[in-house]
Amino acid sequence: MPQPVLAIAAEEFLSELCAKHPIGYRPSIHWKDYRVCAGMAYYKLRVIGLSKAIMTDEQRLRSTLAHEYAHLMAYVRQGPKGTGHGPAWRLAMRDLGEEPKVRHSYEVVRNSPRQRVTYCCLRCGREIVRARRLPRRRKFVHANCGGDLRLSAVERVTLGGSGS
């Protein structure tokens, strides 16, 4: 969950948007672990997903929430033709009094590893550390000695961590 102040502000701003620009329902807000994406609109679920990591202040929150609400407005108005960042979405953004800007420019932690996977060579004992598991049901060998590799550990890395 985000900071309680931001969660309350998000609900209040969404209520304002729904009152001024009704779309026939009130979408729910789901806080997600998005690392790069600030938000997502889920048309059929009637949900707006917001990033716990990127929503750090009220200005970001308002901008992102308006962007995602505009997606839902465009979809209600145009159906499947209203998806994406096309003319229907741009019109919805202008109706909300926002600049139709497609991408945010917030600082993000891009491509940080989420796990640390360690394999052990059964011949020489050397450990090989990776960010992802190797595909299952296939045999992998150590490039230096030709020994079979076996999974020995999988460790979770916290958001923004280096894994070392």
pTM over 0.75: no
* pLDDT tens-digit series, residues 101-120: 999 888 877 667 788 999 99
In a domain, 105, yes or no: no
In a domain, 162, yes or no: no
In a domain, 89, yes or no: yes
The beta strands (E) that lie in 22-74 are given as 28-32, 39-42, 47-51
CATH number of domain containing 68: 3.30.2010.10
How many domains is the chain partitioned into structurally?
2
* pLDDT tens-digit series, residues 40-60: 999 999 999 999 989 999 999
Structural domain range at position 13? 4-95
